[in-house]
Amino acid sequence: MGDQDLASDLVDQGYRLTGKHSAVKLCYWSREALTSGRHCYKGRFYGIESHRCMQMSPAIDSCNLHCRFCWRNQGWENDETMTEFDDPEVLLDKSIDAQRQILSGFGGDEAVDHEKWLESQQPRHVAISLTGEPTLYPKMNRFLELCHERGITTFLVTNGTNPDGLRFLDPLPTQLYVSVTAPNPEIFRRLTLPAQGDAWAHLLESLEIIRSLGTRRVVRHTLVRGWNLGWEEQYAELDLLAKPDFIEPKGYVYMGRSRQRLGADHVPSHEEIGRFARRLAEHTSYDVLDESPDSKVYLLGSATADRWLPGLGPNATLPMAN
């Protein structure tokens, strides 16, 4: 697929392009927070405000995995590191502008609290996870720095197959997610269809790296019935290699282009995720701290862990930016 075809396809799917390799898309939960007062599980687990969260990617066309459960198009990726990249200062400004444009129509909706809409115009969280592998963006350090200078917390989600991208992060994101979507190399190969043969070894290397990173670290298991749900002892070995602050077992969602690769019968129930979470807790000595049935996700961690991001909590409200 050519660049023009890719751009057209992304726009048709609701993406706002913010650069040659970057895009923003309104998160379902940002919309729900404004229209219904419902927040995503990150709000329940960590205290973020969904209506002030911006979902974006600086690497929309670069990924070295082709996961069957991924909601995006596949087949057009550049599997090599980008040779061109978007300027981080321009990228952040354009991303915020795009988020404001997407949310502009909610300002006149009588069902939307006007104060919350005003707050939504000043994003206070950015989820760097929309599509692609964000650690392939070579200016990530500067982008994180700019976000933090503006008081924006950063959630960086990586597939863990680019260990150097984690090793040289400076500053670190507010919260780092590493997706561990298989319990062993064979399931990893069949489910994620990696572009490189050493992707599993790189994932293990990344898990060792994050063990010592001085930020909040989360391992996420996206679980697909019939593919990678089960094997709790093997997942536990990987989790204990990383020793993250939290573990999130989360059910696969039948949406987007994943429906061309998987069926609705591959979607696990919340009860199945709960059984997995409790077994994993037994093997890791982590505690089951919380759950969000709407998102089919459980939270594991230490019973004494501080779940709330700095300055946040279950009822906190961040100040407006200047």
Please give the residue range of the domain that contains residue 276. 16-71+85-301
Q: Which residue has the higher pLDDT, 74 or 214?
A: 214
User: CA dist 125 to 51, 217, 279, 285, 305, Å?
Assistant: 9, 16, 32, 31, 21
In the three-class reduction of DSSP (H, G, I as helix; E, B as strand; rest coil), residue 94 is classed as helix
Query: H or E element: which one contains 56?
Result: strand 53-57
Three-point CA angle 213, 69, 256, nearest 5° = 115
pLDDT digits (tens, 9 = 90+) for 186-216: 999 999 999 999 999 999 999 999 999 999 9
Query: H or E element: which one contains 55?
Result: strand 53-57
Q: Using a pLDDT cut of 90, give the percent of the chain over it.
A: 75
Lowest mean pLDDT among 59-63, 277-281, 300-304: 59-63
Lowest mean pLDDT among 98-107, 148-157, 240-249, 258-267: 258-267
Q: Is residue 249 part of a domain?
A: yes
d(CA 302, CA 300): 7
CATH of the domain at 249: 3.20.20.70
Q: How confident is the model at residue 88 (pLDDT cuts 50, 70, 90)?
A: very high
> Does the structure show a pLDDT above 80 at 129?
yes
Burial of 265 (0-12, 13-18, 19+ CB in 10 A): exposed
Q: Is residue 308 part of a domain?
A: no
Number of domains observed in the structure of the chain: 1
In the three-class reduction of DSSP (H, G, I as helix; E, B as strand; rest coil), residue 88 is classed as helix
Q: What residue spans of the chain are helical by DSSP H?
A: 3-12, 28-36, 41-46, 88-103, 114-120, 140-149, 163-167, 185-192, 199-210, 232-242, 270-284
Q: How confident is the model at residue 5 (pLDDT cuts 50, 70, 90)?
A: low
Query: Quick one: how many helices (H) and strands (E) in the chain?
Result: 11, 10
pTM equals 0.91
pLDDT of residue 120: 97
Q: Is residue 243 part of a domain?
A: yes
Q: What are the phi and psi torsion angles at 143 (to 5°)?
A: -65, -45
Q: Is residue 266 part of a domain?
A: yes
d(CA 111, CA 35): 6
Q: Is residue 316 part of a domain?
A: no
